[in-house]
Amino acid sequence: MDDGVHTPHEFDALRNRLSSAPYPLEPSYQRPVRPWHASYPDYVPPGIDFTPLRVEQLLIRATDQFPKQMALRYFHTNWTYEELLRRVRQVAANLKRLGIESGDRVMLVLPNSPEYVVAWFALHWLGAEIVHANPLMTASDFIRLAIHSRAKAAFGLDFRLASVLEMAKHYHIRMLFVSSLAPHLPVHLRLPYRFKCWMQGGFHTPQTEVYTFDDLYRHAVAPSGSPSLSDPLLPGVLQPTGGTTGTPKIAVLSHKNLHANVAQLHAWCGLNPGEETVLAVLPFFHVFGSTVALLSAVAGAATLILQANFNPSRVFRVMDQHKPDVAPMVPFMFARLCEEMQRRGRNLKGMRYCFSGASPLDPELKAEFEERTGANIFEGFGLSECSPVTHANPADGSARGGSIGLPLPDTEVRIVDAETGTIDLPVGEVGELIIRGPQVMDGYLDEPEETSYVLRDGWLHTGDLATMAEDGYFTIVDRKKDLIISGGLNVYPAEVEAALIQHASVLECAVIGVPCKKFGEAVAAFVIASPGFEIHQDILEAHCRSKLASYKIPRTIEVREDLPKNFLGKVRRIELRNPKAA
């Protein structure tokens, strides 16, 4: 990725350097001028003219241009793009032989691994639709997802297969493909891994045909010659999400949506095709990881440094060895890596960019990580419904703290009144963030009412409350559904949390509204004590009184050992409101 601010006369040179990217990067002067365009780095155009492609075509293009470039590294496994494409074609041929066809829906219940990458592209090669699934979900979660998506087959990991096998007892999955990490591991890790798999028992399930990934690698049939489909408007990924209203849904993301977001990210950051190394620790089973870490890297023929999960010590060693140029992560990963560097008494060097998303990044943490690594962290914002990125701070070092940044090229954004969603609000006023762009989903799977409520006249109503500054920078205030109305007055949980976290005794916190007969809702806080401190409610209340208006002060403060979070480190307020939702 490009490192530095570009002046206008440098744009043509930059564009020429990017000419081998899988889309033409062209300034589009016909597009309406928006306030944020003036704040763009000089090399970023307001829009991108490109021909949408299916994602498997991005792999083919990368391989055509850089066949000998290393595509991925995972322990002792090192595959070039030529080797990766060969495996994708072979697996696609075997999947077709076994009955996977275009339009079939297949659950991928795998961690980041070489086989995940192969399966992801091989399924797209056949025109199948991929249902992302977190391997840590429960059997009941898998059953609900399989029923909703009408999944025909599933991929699972031998080391963590119990919940998938339990699902197969209650929902007829025709085929189960079992992957393993063992072939990639060094001997000292391979033996204990296989022992743990053996302790879990076999893979037999009466109603489901079970195959290993080795079966898919066999040359029972000739490798697939060319992809089955060419239409980029067809669904590519079915992404489970809480949606903008908090209830479980599945966002339908087309190949055009995914390619558009990749093109936007490439234009935003600049790209050295065939030269980048990307740390792929964000889980691919969420579109944040599959778009930002996987597909964006492959589209630029970058080398993926795969990590099946986030272990600070192991990630440190891998980063120290391979020196990734780019590392998309979430705030808790930055925090744990800072702790790891402090523990080792040695910093990481060599990174240029780190993209941060999912939750706000503490300014002090950002400064510490940048000082220790020399990397430039720029924060962004997105939603599963948007493939997922819609906003980002500039990647040239001019990021604005506390802001989600500027809308990406070809992304239209408005701030409207939260009540009707139809009245545009003046600069600086808090309202609902609504978005229109080529990365916005087609809708929710089999949810026409939810889709029509969220997508109105082409605009996605995000449910996020935000403000826009004069120069086009946006700031998220809170979730619309998290807004607390106490005595008729608006209380934004994020504002109360920001006040609480300033007290030395508070390590982490979360704020929600709870029913209150007198005020309708009251502010309730959940806090984790900092090491060596005790939480005293009267002291915290006095602290909040010095920072907040009286109606914003928490009426109850509950001390917790931990807070419920999702896999990206975001607090699940729904579980604080309703413990049964856990």
Give pLDDT tens digits for 289-324.
999 999 999 999 999 999 999 999 999 999 999 999
Render pLDDT for 39-61 as a digit per residue (tens, 0 to 9). 999 989 999 988 999 999 999 99
150 sits in the region (left: phi over 0; alpha: psi -120 to 50; else beta) called left
Helix (H), strand (E) at residue 56: helix 55-65
Q: Is the dihedral of CA 100, 446, 136, 530 positive or negative?
A: positive
End position of a domain, from candidates 447, 478, 509: 478
Q: Which of 45, 66, 53 is nearest to 22 (CA)?
A: 53
Q: Please give the DSSP secondary-structure letter assigned to residue 290.
A: I
Helix (H) or strand (E) holding 525: strand 520-529
Average pLDDT over residues 118-130: 98
What is the distance between the alpha carbons of residues 572 and 581, in angstroms, rounded to a whole number? Answer: 10
Q: How, if at all, do strands 431-436 and 459-468 pair?
A: antiparallel
Q: What is the pLDDT of residue 359?
A: 78
Asked if residue 132 has pLDDT above 90, the reply is yes
Looking up residue 136, the CATH number of its domain turns out to be 3.40.50.980
Please tell me the least confidently modeled range out of 19-33, 439-453, 497-511.
19-33
Same domain, 339 and 208: no
Q: Tell me, what's the pLDDT at 550? A: 85
- Record the tokens describing residue 27, joined without a space: 């300034």
* pLDDT tens digits along 71-113: 999 999 999 999 999 999 999 999 999 999 999 999 999 999 9
pLDDT of residue 12: 40
Q: How do residues 160-195 score in pLDDT, each as one tens digit?
A: 899 999 999 999 999 999 999 999 999 999 989 988
Q: What is the dihedral of CA 153, 155, 159, 162, to 10 degrees?
A: -20
Give the domain-ending residue among 459, 478, 497.
478
Looking at the structure, tell me whether residues 335 and 458 fall in a common domain: yes
Distance CA 53, CA 62 (A): 13
* Domain assignment of residue 169, given as a range: 85-217
- Residue 353 domain flag: yes
Element (DSSP H or E) covering residue 264: helix 255-269
Ordered alpha helix ranges (H), 292-362: 296-299, 312-322, 331-344
pLDDT reported for residue 27: 44
Flag whether 432 is in a domain. Answer: yes
In a domain, 158, yes or no: yes
CA distance 314 to 337: 10
State residue 140's pLDDT score. Answer: 87
Contacts of 188 (CB under 8 A, 6+ apart): none
Average pLDDT score over the chain: 89
Question: What is the structure's pLDDT at 9?
Answer: 36
pLDDT confidence tier of residue 272, bands split at 50, 70 and 90: confident
Torsion of CA 558, 562, 565, 571, to 10 degrees: 40
Which of 414-423, 517-526, 534-543 has the least mean pLDDT? Answer: 517-526
Pairing assessment for the beta strands 303-306 and 277-280 based on DSSP bridges = parallel
506: phi > 0 → left, psi -120 to 50 → alpha, else beta; which?
beta
Residues 280 and 261 in one domain: yes
| Residue 304 to residue 293: CA distance in whole angstroms | 8
Residues whose CB is less than 8 angstroms from the CB of residue 394 and which lie 6 or more positions away in sequence, other chains included:
39, 40, 41, 44, 378, 405, 406
Domain shared by 379 and 510, yes or no: no
Whether 302 maps to a domain, the answer reads yes
Domain of 353, CATH number, reads 3.40.50.12780
Q: For residues 31 and 25, what is the distance between their CA atoms, to the nearest angstrom? A: 15
**Between 230 and 550, residue with greater pLDDT:** 230
At 131 the pLDDT is: 98
pLDDT computed for residue 520 by the predictor? 75
Same domain, 257 and 378: yes
State yes or no: pLDDT of 404 exceeds 70. Answer: yes
* Contact call for residues 175 and 211 (beta carbons, < 8 A): yes
Specify the pLDDT at position 246. 55
Q: What is the pLDDT of residue 15?
A: 35
Q: What is the mean pLDDT of residues 136-140?
A: 86
Task: Examine residue 71 and state whether it is found in any structural domain, yes or no.
Answer: no
All residues at 6 or more sequence positions from 490 whose CB lies less than 8 Å from its CB, including other chains: 483, 484
Residue with tokens 């403060």, as numbered in its chain: 557
Q: Distance between CA atoms of 371 and 196, rounded to whole angstroms?
A: 41
Encode pLDDT of 211-264 as tens digits: 999 999 998 888 988 999 999 999 999 999 875 555 679 999 999 999 999 999
Question: Do 205 and 346 sit in the same domain of this protein?
Answer: no
102 and 44 in a single domain? The answer is: no
On whether residue 483 sits in a domain, the answer given is no
Residue 348 has pLDDT above 70, yes or no: yes
28-42, 100-114, 463-477, 495-509: least confidently modelled range: 28-42
Instruction: Report the CATH number at residue 501.
Output: 3.30.300.30
Would you place residue 11 in the very low, low, confident or very high pLDDT band (cuts 50, 70, 90)? Answer: very low
The set of residues, in sequence order, having a beta carbon less than 8 Å from that of 134 and lying 6+ positions away, is: 109, 283, 285, 286, 567
**% of residues, the chain, pLDDT over 90:** 69
Total domains in the fold of the chain: 3
For 485, the token pair is 């109305």
Cβ–Cβ < 8 Å for 37, 46: yes
Q: Helix axis angle, 331-344 relative to 363-373, nearest 10°?
A: 50
Question: Do 178 and 198 lie in a common domain?
Answer: yes
Rounded to the nearest 10°, the torsion over CA 352, 353, 354, 356 is 160
**Domain stop point among 217, 252, 276:** 217
pLDDT at 199 over 90: no
Alpha-carbon dihedral angle through residues 108, 383, 574, 331, given to the nearest 10 degrees: 90
Query: pLDDT band for position 30 (50/70/90)?
Result: low
Cβ contact 424:455 at 8 Å: no
Residues 143 and 104: their CA atoms lie apart, in Å, by 17
The reply to whether 48 falls in a domain is yes
Bridge partner residues of 382 (DSSP): 389
Do residues 183 and 312 share a domain? Answer: no
Is 262 a member of any domain?
A: yes
- Considering the domain architecture, whether residues 248 and 173 belong to the same structural domain is answered as no
Choose the weakest-confidence range: 200-214, 264-278, 363-377, 445-459. Answer: 200-214
Residue 245: the pLDDT is 55
The alpha carbon dihedral of 318, 323, 324, 326 has a sign of positive
Same domain? 210 vs 246: no
When pLDDT is averaged across residues 370-393 and rounded to a whole number, the result is 94
Calculate ∠ Cα 432-434-439, nearest 5°: 150
Shared domain check, 463 and 347: yes
For the chain, percent helix, then strand, then coil, each to nearest 5? 35, 25, 40
